Structure 1
């Protein structure tokens, strides 16, 4: 059978989830149970041959109802089967699969996704008139050697960790949901807004992902039992992703968040091979995450160039510039 593009029926989603596990571009964000936990409408398009799925993508809708990454789904875009053989042969196969997928989604006018860092060749999109923007995250690609990780962090990070330890800051993995959400939400309140999801939705997502065993929450508290900072990760066997981070600035600054993030990396190393800070492109946040010694890692945001997407992106960038000074 010639490889053909088709939209998977839900009864075959288990085939997609298995494919996600072997694709270099696969991540927990592309798993169907994860998307269902977010409550995001989605379709799955695949290139299918006699030997199974060769490539594909999740066409999820975000909270605005357009084809774009939903909140808390960092990386989507195209996933490809691992290619074998010489380099020239591998990139030829990947190009052909990507071209076939792109040609079959021309109907998706609002296409605007951030892709996994392992997706490298966006030329087939370029040739079809799409546009892209390079974004950056920090990744620790081997989180198993904690001694090496600690040796790579900036001196200011080590200094801040010692300060937290002097003040008796302790990291725990039992954080009441209401306290966690309040601290996380306070990060957005300081910027004049609020968390992108309600407490009810947060709790619903937390409960569903805990049932799947792919989410962990941590908190840093002092000797009085007060929580100074919180983190939350989602993970598969390959990578943990720092999905949530917040700190209570009404409490004394014991550098609890620095200590907490490093301890989160340490505990995540028992769950996955790598650790992804999920950005950030915000200047102040980038400086903080850079201090932990991760590798600066580019990834693509690819969108279909049309009036709708151009106006949408202009509006978002204007909002961020006014709100965050970006």
Structure 2
């Protein structure tokens, strides 16, 4: 059995592997262009890191996969380790992963690593560089009254405004959603950075696993104002994509849909991950929902 086949089976059932590091997710976003580093002992996987490999003439690079927030260096830690022992073991596994990266004859390496990894020293010691990125996470969604009170007063005002103008519905078709999503990029004179085929594969894979919901807002004339696409794994609901009709942005439908996403996380008993943004206006909006700022590493190296 190949490493890919092993990992597909392993990640399907290992609950501590996040959504964006699942084998089926990688099959959806970059089929035939991904692989995995496995560190094994006695046929047991002790560490794993999936990666998107881009190969062109003169280029062999590990880079961020489309629509994939970050990826996890998954490590199987021995039980009941003291902190020093656990950190030493983590160093050992990270060094083993880096050694395999170094053997791949890459021209460039870049990955955003899941925020569960706080220690990037082994990468630093091997000549890699790092910048910090941020997401916003609501860790505890159990108390909706408290969550609502934690919202910035401006966000509460925008939600009340939206509720007077639109109602929230479910299950927009993926084609209609993609058209709305594309409008968001076109409004900024940008081409959408992923294809309908990728979004369609994600949708199919998530539907099969009951791991997605499309919510959208319509007004009294049945005009769609905005839509949001949420996905989830065993621990978190993620705000993956959204789109809005430019002429209806005043209705604040996306603010309402984000709040509905938090309510979805509450219903499912999961964290809510805004997926972050380094853009100032988006970061400011996410922060107003009372979420915690969470850093994660962008690790990179040119060879």
TM-score, L = length of structure 1: 0.84
Residue number among 47, 57, 75 corresponding to 2:49 in the alignment: 57
Compare 72-81 and 136-145 and name the one that shifted more: 72-81
Please say if 1:96 is aligned against 2:92.
yes
Deviations along 1:244-272, whole A, 9 cap, x unmatched? 02221212612211111101110133235
CA gap 1:121/1:200 in 2 versus in 1, 3 angstroms? closer
Equivalent residue, structure 2, for 1:152: 150
CA gap 1:14/1:256 in 2 versus in 1, 3 angstroms? same
Residue number among 197, 207, 211 corresponding to 2:208 in the alignment: 211
Equivalent residue, structure 2, for 1:126: 124
1:131/1:305 contact within 8 Å kept: no
Equivalent residue, structure 2, for 1:112: 110
Compare 125-134 and 252-261 and name the one that shifted more: 252-261
- 1:1-326 equivalences under 5 Å are 8-11=3-6, 13-19=8-14, 21-22=15-16, 26-40=17-31, 41-50=33-42, 52-61=44-53, 66-83=61-78, 84-108=80-104, 109=106, 110-167=108-165, 169-251=166-248, 253-306=250-303
Q: Distance in 1 between matches of 2:258 and 2:4?
A: 40
Q: Distance in 2 between matches of 1:247 and 1:62?
A: 32
CA gap 1:247/1:89 in 2 versus in 1, 3 angstroms? same
Q: Distance in 2 between matches of 1:102 and 1:140?
A: 32
Aligned-pair CA distance for 1:113 = 0.3
2:230/2:237 contact within 8 Å kept: yes
Q: Distance in 2 between matches of 1:9 and 1:153?
A: 43
Q: Which has the higher contact order (CA 8 A, sep 6+)?
A: 2
Q: What residue ranges of structure 1 are gaps of 5+ in the alignment?
A: 1-5, 307-326
2:187/2:246 contact within 8 Å kept: no
Q: Distance in 1 between matches of 2:54 and 2:147?
A: 35
Q: Secondary structure at the match of 1:85?
A: coil
Q: Distance in 2 between matches of 1:242 and 1:63?
A: 30
Q: Distance in 2 between matches of 1:199 and 1:159?
A: 35
Q: Distance in 2 between matches of 1:142 and 1:196?
A: 32
Q: Distance in 1 between matches of 2:55 and 2:198?
A: 13
1:7/1:46 contact within 8 Å kept: no
Q: What is the root-mean-square deviation in Å for CA atoms of aligned residues?
A: 2.1
CA gap 1:143/1:51 in 2 versus in 1, 3 angstroms? farther
Q: Distance in 2 between matches of 1:11 and 1:51?
A: 10
Q: Secondary structure at the match of 1:245?
A: strand
Aligned-pair CA distance for 1:278 = 0.7
Deviations along 1:44-83, whole A, 9 cap, x unmatched? 2111123822112112225977311211111114221245
Q: What residue ranges of structure 2 are gaps of 5+ in the alignment?
A: none
Higher strand proportion = 2
Deviations along 1:288-325, whole A, 9 cap, x unmatched? 1111111000000101244xxxxxxxxxxxxxxxxxxx
Aligned-pair CA distance for 1:107 = 2.7
Q: Distance in 1 between matches of 2:158 and 2:167?
A: 14
Q: Distance in 2 between matches of 1:9 and 1:253?
A: 47
